[in-house]
Amino acid sequence: MKRLKSKNVYRFPIVMNRDTKITYDASPAHKGRLKNAVDFIVPEGTCVRAAFDGKIIDVKQDSDIGGNDESFDKHGNYIEIEHSNEEYSIYEHIRKNGSIVKIGDIVKEGQSIGFSGNTGWMGGLGPHLHFDVHIYFGEGPEDYETIKIMWEKEKL
């Protein structure tokens, strides 16, 4: 029943260079249903790209507040994309007014969608982009679980 790994093959949501740090387990938020999430440690204003073709289904970009305590979670800006195979990706900690897409937009893999920031629950990592791929098992906004991401290395 449970899907362990993504069916879609995703591209990294930022342009990687030799110094870009990726971490799966440094964030205190990456437990439970978020255990397969990944953080890209990048400066504020880094261009964020769609990791796969899809449709923008949610955008929050009105916050300018971030901090290291979990209580900041609700202040995080994000962009969420619906993909094929009932998979969804999310890009979190987007800077204020940092989305260049809106709900309903169709995006192609690699297309720029916004700019990273420092909003929400940063978990002591400093500015970074949180990314995960998840599937929903119910109707509620919290009824989801992250899955392991299949990356297409050739697309780096």
Which residues sit at the interface with Zn ion, rule CB under 5 A? Answer: 27, 37, 39, 130
Using the minimum distance from each CB to Zn ion, give the nearer residue, 64 or 73.
73
Backbone region of residue 16 per phi and psi (left: phi > 0; alpha: psi in -120 to 50; beta: other values): beta
Comparing every residue's Cβ against Zn ion, the nearest one is 130
Residue 53, Cα to own-chain centre: how many angstroms?
Answer: 14
The minimum distance between CB 156 and Zn ion, in angstroms, equals 20
The minimum distance between CB 102 and Zn ion, in angstroms, equals 24
Give CA–CA dist 106/57, Å, rounded.
Answer: 10
Using the minimum distance from each CB to Zn ion, give the nearer residue, 52 or 91.
91
Nearest to 1 by CA among 139, 130, 147, 101: 147
Give CA–CA dist 83/90, Å, rounded.
Answer: 11
The minimum distance between CB 30 and Zn ion, in angstroms, equals 6
Using the minimum distance from each CB to Zn ion, give the nearer residue, 27 or 99.
27
Using the minimum distance from each CB to Zn ion, give the nearer residue, 27 or 119.
27
The minimum distance between CB 70 and Zn ion, in angstroms, equals 12
- Cβ density class 38-52: b for 16+ within 10 Å, e for less: bbbbbebebebbbbb
